[in-house]
Amino acid sequence: MRNFIKQTFASAIGSLLGLIIFCGLGTGGLFLLLLAVSSSETTPSVKDKSVLVFDLSMNISDSEPSSNEFLQKALSGEDNNQMSLRTVLDTLEQARLDSRIVGIYLDATHPSAAGATGFATLKEVRQALEKFRATGKKVVAYGMEWDQKDYYLSSVADTIMLNPLGEMEVKGLGIQTMFLAGALQKYGVGVQIVREGKFKGAVEPLILTKFSPENREQTQKLLNDVWTDWRTSVGTSRKIDPQQLQAIADNQALLPAEQAKTSHLVDKIGYFDEVIADLKQLTDSKTEDKTFRQISFNNYAEVYHKPVGRERFALNRVAVVYAEGEIVDGQGNNGDVGGDRFAKIFRRLRQDRNVKAIVLRINSPGGSATAAEVMQREVRLTRQTKPVVVSMGDLAASGGYWIATDSNRIFAEPNTITGSIGVFGQLFNLQKLANDHGITWDTVKTGKYADSQTVSRPKSPEELAISQRSVDRIYNLFLNKVAQGRKLPEQKVAEIAQGRVWSGTAAKGIGLVDEIGGLDTAIKYAAQQANLGDNWELQEYPKYGTFGERLFGQVAQETRSTLGINQAQFKSADPMSVEFQKLQQEIAILRKMNDPQGVYARLPFNFQIK
């Protein structure tokens, strides 16, 4: 029997080792194969009189995808057309300076991923396109179905062409929130809320069935500001009065091709082959050529991956730290802003003598108040030794604003969502749900509040008072930090706080933001504050991805393209599926709420402008 066990154990160990070796060789062989495939391909070249093709379905994020995201996206095919804002801006600037690039083609023929990219990010890309066009080079746009985000970029073009069967969306902006209070009540889930700030709408989906008057007021004001920027920007480019655009939104909303042309929203109505013919003429391509002389945005970015106008190996460095995602306690996962992880990054950068200035790029709705405090402390300490400049992206609100308060200067776009200075706690109980299914609890304790964290019953008035004191304390701390960091009277901060969200334009008017500008503007300001001149290098954090992982993602993407696999056909876009996805997102957000004190500084869940 003993020998049998030994043999069995030895066999199991041998099998396990064999599996490990096999997997190791398999993975190594795969990467060697991919390396061979990659090395056999020549580096993309830029021919004279080429057009840069910008696919508007690109998802533009603040930071580069992590190594895990590269592998997951390579295998699943999801979001394979993704690029960081920094890379997009540098690539457009390089194209502006490159004499071989004669124009940009904005391709709006693919399913748009613009929903994942906010208006503040698009504002920066739009300004880069305007700068490109100012050189005299052409920008041409063509599409079938233009939504408002894609058209926000496309309106920059010299020539906009719409397919005869196509339509143009000009309907205004909206925010639709899913309210869960009715469902929670139906299924016996109790919710008790403690909060500070009459505008703090993040908790409303859990306790109401519609917007409160205060939340509706602040949301309307925010949308009005963002919509004003859309109408002004598009109107200026297209030479259309903003009031005319408002009239179109109020009376038509969706314009067929002929009406879009009559309203001067597009210049031509035509088919894909006709825009190809125009681009052939622009690039002096031959009539018999299959297409015009071109290079894709991704390939051009690979050719010119060096940041424009900066020394590649300069001793002095400006660090850009991307705080993108939900703020959570601890290390956090990919896509989260883990308080401890980001605090560690700031400590290292503070101690690095070669790093002369830091730009904190925030694109976060907030989250854990504890994690925000951990990060904010490191920002304050770092500012004592070197400049720390904040650049706000699509949103930098609540906890996202908390971590910005002690910076030297705050930059935001006109349509950035910011503010939301308020905190809340949410206390769930499952008493009715459990009781309805025959589940009960009983407790033995040595103190009145020993079981105060239970989900078996609602909190008593005395327990709610304890939670409220905690929320009040953190809210007052938040107000104090804003008052000191922004050098504002505490009374004024108390008036503009209350959990209210503001646009970047409004935030500048009340002192929460110093200057209107994007990431490039913030980086240049940081370099100036550190007196670096032109001799400096840009470094980005957190650092993600290995060469092998990035190569794997690239080859997998090209393989899918070769096989004709279109991920869009696997994504359901029917309204019912969209609503289920929203519900899944709400639940995912709740699972990330891990503050040890149960207190949060966060925007309303899934706060998306469409």
Q: Angle 2-40/547-563 helices, nearest 10 degrees? A: 70
| Residue 290: pLDDT over 70 | yes
pLDDT at 604: 57
List, in sequence order, every residue forming a beta bridge with 390; answer none if it has no partner: 360, 410
| Residue 14: pLDDT over 90 | no
Tell me the pLDDT tens digit for each residue of 204-222: 888 888 998 988 988 899 9
Q: Are 278 and 29 in contact (CB under 8 A)?
A: no
Among residues 143, 80, 150, 49, the alpha carbon closest in space to that of 556 is found at: 80
Contacts of 315 (CB under 8 A, 6+ apart): 354, 535, 537
Question: Given 149, 200, 481, 592, which residue is catalytic?
Answer: 200
pLDDT at 43: 59
Q: What is the rounded CA–CA span in Å between residue 454 and residue 1? A: 51
Which ranges constitute the DSSP H helices of 179-312? 181-186, 204-207, 213-238, 242-251, 257-262, 272-282, 297-303
CA trace torsion 496, 500, 505, 509 (10° rounding): 0
Q: Record the tokens describing residue 563, joined without a space.
A: 């096989």
DSSP three-state, residue 195: strand
Q: Record the tokens describing residue 260, joined without a space.
A: 């879009």
Among residues 317, 307, 309, the alpha carbon closest in space to that of 355 is found at: 317
Proportion of the chain in helix, strand, coil states, percent, rounded to 5:
45, 20, 35
For β-strands 501-503 and 417-419, DSSP reports them as: antiparallel
Active site residue 61: no
CA distances 482 to 263, 405, 486, 511, Å, are: 46, 6, 6, 10
Among residues 310, 305, 313, the alpha carbon closest in space to that of 524 is found at: 310
Positions of E strands within 126-172? 138-146, 159-170
Question: Given 155, 398, 420, 467, which residue is catalytic?
Answer: 398
**406 burial level (CB within 10 Å; 0-12, 13-18, 19+):** buried
pLDDT at 115: 54
DSSP string covering 239-250:
T--HHHHHHHHH
pLDDT at 565: 37
Tell me the pLDDT tens digit for each residue of 159-187: 999 999 999 999 999 988 888 889 888 88
Q: Which CATH architecture has domain 317-425+456-549+590-602?
A: Alpha-Beta Complex (3.90)
DSSP string covering 431-452:
HHHHHHTT-------SSTTTTT
For β-strands 326-328 and 268-269, DSSP reports them as: unpaired
More confident residue, 116 or 190: 190
* Mean pLDDT value of segment 371-393: 95
Q: Are 433 and 187 in contact (CB under 8 A)?
A: yes
Band the pLDDT of 269: cuts 50, 70, 90.
very high
Boundaries of every domain in the chain = 317-425+456-549+590-602
CA distances 418 to 145, 252, 368, 399, 503, Å, are: 31, 32, 16, 10, 6
Among residues 403, 416, 421, the alpha carbon closest in space to that of 342 is found at: 403
Other Cβ atoms less than 10 A from the Cβ of 349: the count is 22
Percentage with pLDDT > 70 across the chain? 77
More confident residue, 582 or 133: 133
Q: What is the rounded CA–CA span in Å between residue 380 and residue 480? A: 14
pLDDT at 24: 46
DSSP three-state, residue 407: coil
DSSP three-state, residue 586: helix
Band the pLDDT of 487: cuts 50, 70, 90.
very high
DSSP string covering 308-364:
TTS-TT-SSEEEEEEEESEEESSS--TTEEEHHHHHHHHHHHHH-TTEEEEEEEEEE
Tell me the pLDDT tens digit for each residue of 525-563: 999 999 998 889 999 998 755 444 444 444 444 434 443
CA distances 413 to 122, 128, 145, 263, 331, Å, are: 10, 14, 27, 28, 29
Peptide bond into 44 cis (omega under 30): no
Least-confidence region, from 417-421, 430-434, 482-486, 593-597: 593-597
Backbone angles phi, psi at 258, to 5 degrees: -65, -40
Q: What is the rounded CA–CA span in Å between residue 305 and residue 308? A: 9
pLDDT at 287: 81
Tell me the pLDDT tens digit for each residue of 67-97: 555 455 544 444 457 899 999 999 999 999 9
Longest dimension (CA), the chain: 91
Q: Are 498 and 198 in contact (CB under 8 A)?
A: yes
The owner of tokens 């306690």 is 329
pLDDT at 427: 87
List, in sequence order, every residue forming a beta bridge with 311; answer none if it has no partner: none
Active site residue 364: no
pLDDT at 31: 44
Q: Record the tokens describing residue 439, joined without a space.
A: 């589940």
Q: Are 368 and 327 in contact (CB under 8 A)?
A: yes
| Residue 599: pLDDT over 70 | no
Please give the mean pLDDT across all residues of the chain.
82
